[in-house]
Amino acid sequence: MEIHVVQPGESLYRIAQHYGVPLAAVLRQNELRDPNRLTPGECILVPVGGRQYTVRRGDTLASIAEAQGTTVRQLWRDNPFFMGQDRVSPGQTLYLAESSAYPRKIVLGGVRQGTDARMLRRVLPQLDYLAVASFGFDRTGRIPGIHAEIPVRLARRYGVRPVFVLTMQDENGRFSGERARQVLRDPAARANLIRSAAQNAAAGEWAGIMLDFEYLMPEDRDAFSDFVRALKAQLASEKLVLLLALPPKTCRGQTGLLCEAHDFRALGRNADLCVLKNASVALGAPSALADIGRMNEAVRYAVSEIPAKKLLCSLPAGGLQWALPWHQGQRARPLAGAQAAEQAVQVGAPIRYDDAAQAPHYNFWRGGTEQEVWFEDARSYRAKCALAAEYRLGGVAVPEAAQWYSQLWGIL
């Protein structure tokens, strides 16, 4: 897959012609809202190096995969317009990417409860794990009934391992650090939570659990590590996996509520996989969603405590928009999926690229107020995937996988 950065005056036709690729293939790969409009600095993915196959009468996706030496799942990955469906039509053109010399890395995708089945079918072929968020527990450690039959059933159909995300959410849907602290400090409630988690996972045909606890007190460090060890033992006895979400720490002694209760070495010892989260910048001054320098610091520390093959680094989807001048406490407006890139085209804003942060951004005016947008594109995703490869991580995680963005999945 080639990344082309649009220059002033270029069109998709000229770009396709330059690479010797059919225009239809470029259109299909990028899913642009208005293919007749581009803006300088925009990224276009060009499917070079692969092969094209034209569907003939009598073909099925399975027969094409067999004849071409690939799998149906790989065809879904190479051709996301199928939306995970099996139907093909004579005359339809499929793209078959070159096989990689490198082993495939793990890809985990996060979705919320109630995510549309159509979107699940589209994203599931790209994944190895599906993390469905989020579920909480009451003060006794009991987890209310978990009902998510559709994502579990669909995940199993596509060969993906579904896990439910257990957070510090109380019975009213509020995130409560105090609730987690109460349960961790009460041996009976802690045992009940472990038992309830395992029972819900087994009853719902989940592959396991992803634990995402934040805002714990430093004095809960040992209790949290002990809880994770006991939970892992219970899950392992039932052939279930345990995944952990970890804060982006950069050193063992780092302070702050997000960090101090997380003993990376102890936690990593008892987890099957660990998802390294990115620090939120929504309440800060305009900046990259996931600065590659900060990511590198967090990954470098994580691999010093946890085996690299257990680690997944997070890839943010979408973007953030700030009104200028920025002031303390101002919250950025989130932009989903391809919305940030589409907006740059709509307002005619040239996209600039910050080489130090490895992130695209642009400015424009709306209603007399200047706006600044930072987001992700194919270049920034490739830089993050290169970082994961450099440290030989187990793979990557996409926390907002339902926000479909062709540039993200094209790079993966």
Most distant CA atoms of the chain, gap in Å: 68
pLDDT band at 370 (very low <50, low <70, confident <90, very high): very high
pTM (2 d.p.): 0.93
pLDDT band at 144 (very low <50, low <70, confident <90, very high): confident
Helix, strand, coil tally for the chain in percent (to 5):
35, 20, 40
Q: Flag whether 267 is in a domain.
A: yes
The CATH number linked to 342 is 3.10.50.10
Give pLDDT, residue 256: 81
Q: Of 44, 71, 96, which one is at a domain's C-terminal end?
A: 96
CB 124, CB 169: distance < 8 Å? no
On the question of pLDDT at 100 being above 70, the answer is: no
Give pLDDT, residue 130: 98
Q: Flag whether 388 is in a domain.
A: yes
244 and 339 co-located in one domain: no
Output 97 or 182, whichever has higher pLDDT: 182
Q: How many domains does the chain have?
A: 3
On the question of pLDDT at 152 being above 90, the answer is: yes
19 and 158 co-located in one domain: no
Output 105 or 43, whichever has higher pLDDT: 43
Chain segment 18-68, per-residue pLDDT in tens: 999 989 889 988 988 899 999 999 999 998 887 888 999 999 999 999 999
Q: Flag whether 9 is in a domain.
A: yes
Task: Provide the sign of the torsion angle of the four alpha carbons 93, 96, 97, 98, taken in this order.
Answer: negative
134 and 186 co-located in one domain: yes
Q: Flag whether 101 is in a domain.
A: no
Find out whether the peptide bond into 144 is cis, omega within 30 degrees of 0: no
Stretch 317-344: mean pLDDT, rounded? 93
The CATH number linked to 6 is 3.10.350.10
On the question of pLDDT at 101 being above 60, the answer is: no
159 and 232 co-located in one domain: yes
169 and 311 co-located in one domain: yes
Give pLDDT, residue 292: 97
DSSP symbol at 175: B
Share of the chain above pLDDT 70, in %: 99
Stretch 150-166: mean pLDDT, rounded? 95
Find out whether the peptide bond into 99 is cis, omega within 30 degrees of 0: no
277 and 380 co-located in one domain: yes
On the question of pLDDT at 192 being above 60, the answer is: yes
70 and 171 co-located in one domain: no
On the question of pLDDT at 262 being above 90, the answer is: yes
Q: Of 48, 68, 96, which one is at a domain's C-terminal end?
A: 96
Q: Flag whether 308 is in a domain.
A: yes
pLDDT band at 103 (very low <50, low <70, confident <90, very high): low
Stretch 92-105: mean pLDDT, rounded? 75
Would you say how long the chain is, in residues? 412
52 and 181 co-located in one domain: no
193 and 341 co-located in one domain: no
Chain segment 78-93, per-residue pLDDT in tens: 888 887 788 888 988 8
Q: Which domain holds residue 298?
A: 106-318+376-411
Neighbours of 7 (CB within 10 A): 12
Q: How many CA atoms lie within 13 A of 315 on its CB side?
A: 32
Stretch 364-379: mean pLDDT, rounded? 96
For 53, the 3-state DSSP assignment is strand
On the question of pLDDT at 131 being above 80, the answer is: yes
342 and 294 co-located in one domain: no
List all residues 6 or more positions away from 218 whose beta carbon is below 8 Å from its beta carbon: 260, 261
Q: Rounded to an integer, what distance in angstroms lies between the CA atom of residue 178 and that of residue 194?
A: 18
Q: Flag whether 180 is in a domain.
A: yes
Give pLDDT, residue 77: 87
161 and 58 co-located in one domain: no
Q: Rounded to an integer, what distance in angstroms lies between the CA atom of residue 181 and that of residue 223?
A: 9
Chain segment 272-304, per-residue pLDDT in tens: 999 999 987 877 899 999 999 999 999 999 999
Q: Flag whether 238 is in a domain.
A: yes
Find out whether the peptide bond into 134 is cis, omega within 30 degrees of 0: yes
Average pLDDT, the chain: 92
111 and 164 co-located in one domain: yes
Give pLDDT, residue 102: 55
On the question of pLDDT at 162 being above 80, the answer is: yes
On the question of pLDDT at 340 being above 90, the answer is: yes
Chain segment 193-214, per-residue pLDDT in tens: 999 999 999 999 999 999 999 8
Q: Flag whether 17 is in a domain.
A: yes
